[in-house]
């Protein structure tokens, strides 16, 4: 087959590096913007944080010291203009994640420290290290005993039987915190219940309940529990109460298992007085950035010597690249500020009734396209703006994406927000009799009576979105 050349004309939509940078900046919340700016300042010495205290513009880039027209192309070969097409001041497409280093012992370290008092043989100590190393962050052993036997043989050249591994595992299960080393939730709770030292009848009953009635307990089939244990309602209440006091995640009970609490910092602050709104961006969204005066001076100096010195030409290439990158970043921050403010102002206008009262039933149906059409931006841009952004109002702090909802039609033909339906659904469940919770069919009936035409499967979907369990799991004695 003969090879031949041909011309093909086609159109491609490609984002410039500056546009990609803006999209990434739009997506991050203000709490992360500080770190992103610090990273940029560290990577680009031409960028500084602070108010621009000079009226000088970057005339060196556009004119000679005598304000005559200046052409940079004289100083750069055609193949050395990388700074025009490349930019290195935006993050990678794949988000980098780092693992913080803790100075505290993990609960695995504390377990091994406790085992020192057990006077284990060298072989048993190796088995213990393998078992402890396979515990997850909740303290459970999720690998089977036979898999541990294989690990010991292949990786440690230690050949043991399953019973020897179990012997060491049982010793680990006697350590603190109680319940660690369990292979299931049932075993975890039983280990804790057996550790009780009160010697009361209730201890034996709780252990029996966990051993014989664990499935009915998890499904809240309390009648079956009482029947099998042959106890009355008061005794059953005592058993259930004691089980609920047990810790299902013993590995996270120590200091090393604690997770940091993330503080919500609003991106917008909205004040309302007598129906008049005052919307402001958090100051973190609009930091003062400027081009380093030192780099402006360097550029002028290198410009003067670029025609006569190759070193000056190379230095000018570097300086110009850094200044261009700094200017691009400052412009992206400014565009981020304007885009955030315009989008939030439009949401405020669209949901004025909600922001006046804070009542979820006042939320109008609103999708991303509604806002995108009004601000004449792409839906993906609006999605990035509302991602992980919060607004502080007189009625509380709200996640922007939670203000968006689909429309539903009542039996009168009126369009309402699905958030309104969820609010009514949540109130109905909060006010139900917990001894006989309302099933999804009953909730559907209640909503239909109020004029909301909604199917049972939609009720189930909204209930799950609200993290509300099914009726039998909401049952209380």
Rg (CA), the chain: 33
pLDDT in tens, 217-260: 988 888 999 999 999 988 898 899 889 889 999 987 544 444 44
**Residue 147 CA: distances (Å) to CA of 128, 175, 180, 185:** 14, 23, 19, 20
DSSP one-letter string for 424-446: HHHHHHHTS-TTSPPPHHHHHHH
- pLDDT at residue 262, rounded to an integer: 52
pLDDT in tens, 380-401: 899 988 888 899 998 888 999 8
**Residue 424 CA: distances (Å) to CA of 251, 431, 466:** 38, 11, 12
pLDDT in tens, 156-171: 899 999 999 999 999 9
Mean pLDDT of the chain: 79
| pLDDT bracket for residue 9 (50, 70, 90) | low
Beta-carbon contacts of 143 under 8 Å, excluding residues fewer than 6 positions away, are 134, 151
| pLDDT bracket for residue 211 (50, 70, 90) | very high
Please state, in angstroms and rounded to a whole number, the distance separating the CA atoms of residues 383 and 363: 19
Instruction: Give the β-pairing of 268-273 and 390-393.
Output: parallel
DSSP one-letter string for 57-101: --HHHHB-TTS-B--GGGGS-TT--HHHH----S--SSPP--PPP
| pLDDT bracket for residue 303 (50, 70, 90) | low
Could you report how far apart the first and last alpha carbons of the chain are, in Å? Answer: 82
Cβ atoms < 10 Å from Cβ of 259: 7
pTM of the model: 0.52
Q: 113-126 burial by CB neighbour count: b if 16+ within 10 A, else e?
A: eebeeeebeeebbb
Bridge partners (DSSP) listed for residue 193: none
Q: Comparing C-alpha atoms, which of 356, 389, 383 is closest to residue 367? A: 383
CB 60 within 8 Å of CB 72: no
- pLDDT at residue 370, rounded to an integer: 92
| pLDDT bracket for residue 310 (50, 70, 90) | low
**For residue 11, pLDDT beyond 90:** no
Region 9-22: mean pLDDT is 69
CB 295 within 8 Å of CB 63: no
User: Of how many residues is the chain composed?
Assistant: 477
CB 152 within 8 Å of CB 143: no
CB 425 within 8 Å of CB 463: yes
**For residue 98, pLDDT beyond 60:** no
Q: Comparing C-alpha atoms, which of 210, 211, 208, 215 is closest to residue 230? A: 208
369-376 contact pairs (CB < 8 A, 24+): 371/343, 371/346, 371/347, 374/346, 374/350, 375/342, 375/343, 375/346
The overall longest dimension of the chain from CA atoms, in Å, is: 101
**For residue 123, pLDDT beyond 60:** yes
% pLDDT > 90, the chain = 30
CB 333 within 8 Å of CB 286: yes
């Amino acid at each position: 087959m003969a090879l031949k050349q041909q011309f093909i004309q086609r159109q491609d939509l490609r984002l410039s590096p500056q546009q990609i940078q803006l999209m990434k900046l739009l997506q991050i919340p203000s709490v992360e913007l500080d770190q992103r700016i610090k990273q940029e300042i560290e990577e680009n010495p031409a960028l500084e944080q602070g108010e621009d205290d000079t009226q000088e513009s970057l005339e060196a880039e556009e004119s000679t010291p005598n304000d005559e027209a200046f052409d940079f192309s004289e100083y750069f070969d055609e193949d050395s203009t990388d700074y025009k097409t490349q930019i290195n001041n935006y993050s990678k497409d794949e988000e980098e994640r780092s693992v913080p280093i803790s100075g505290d012992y993990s609960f695995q370290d504390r377990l091994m420290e406790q085992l020192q008092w057990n006077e284990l043989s060298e072989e048993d100590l190796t088995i213990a290290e393998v078992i402890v190393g396979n515990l997850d962050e909740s303290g459970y052993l999720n690998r089977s005993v036979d898999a541990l036997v294989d690990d010991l043989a292949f990786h440690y050249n230690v050949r043991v039987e399953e019973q020897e591994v179990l012997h060491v595992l049982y010793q680990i299960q006697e350590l603190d915190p109680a319940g660690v080393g369990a292979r299931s939730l049932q075993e975890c709770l039983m280990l804790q219940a057996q550790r009780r030292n009160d010697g009361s009848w209730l201890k034996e009953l709780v252990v029996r309940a966990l051993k014989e009635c664990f499935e009915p307990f998890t499904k809240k089939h309390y009648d079956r529990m009482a029947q099998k244990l042959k106890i009355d309602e008061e005794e059953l209440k005592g058993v259930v109460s004691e089980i609920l006091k047990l810790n299902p995640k013993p590995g996270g009970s120590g200091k090393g298992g604690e997770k940091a609490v993330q503080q919500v910092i609003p991106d917008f602050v909205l004040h309302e007085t007598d129906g008049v709104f005052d919307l402001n961006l958090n100051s973190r969204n609009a930091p003062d950035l400027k081009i380093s005066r030192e780099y402006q001076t360097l550029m002028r100096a290198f410009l003067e010597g670029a025609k006569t010195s190759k070193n000056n030409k190379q230095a000018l290439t570097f300086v110009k690249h850094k200044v261009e990158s700094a200017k691009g970043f400052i412009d992206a921050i400014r565009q981020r500020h304007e885009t955030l403010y315009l989008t939030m102002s439009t949401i405020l206008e669209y949901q004025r009734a909600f922001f006046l009262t804070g009542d979820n039933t006042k939320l109008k149906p609103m999708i991303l396209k509604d806002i995108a059409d009004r601000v004449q931006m792409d839906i993906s841009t609006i999605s990035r703006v509302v991602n992980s952004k919060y607004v502080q109002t007189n009625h509380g702090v709200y996640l922007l994406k939670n203000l968006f909802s689909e429309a539903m039609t009542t039996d009168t033909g009126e369009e309402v927000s699905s958030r309104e339906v969820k609010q009514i659904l949540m109130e109905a469940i909060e006010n139900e009799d917990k001894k006989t919770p309302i099933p999804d069919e009953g909730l559907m009936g209640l909503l239909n009576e109020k004029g909301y035409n909604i199917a049972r499967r939609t009720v189930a979907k909204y209930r799950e979105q609200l993290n509300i369990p099914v009726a039998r799991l909401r049952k209380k004695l």
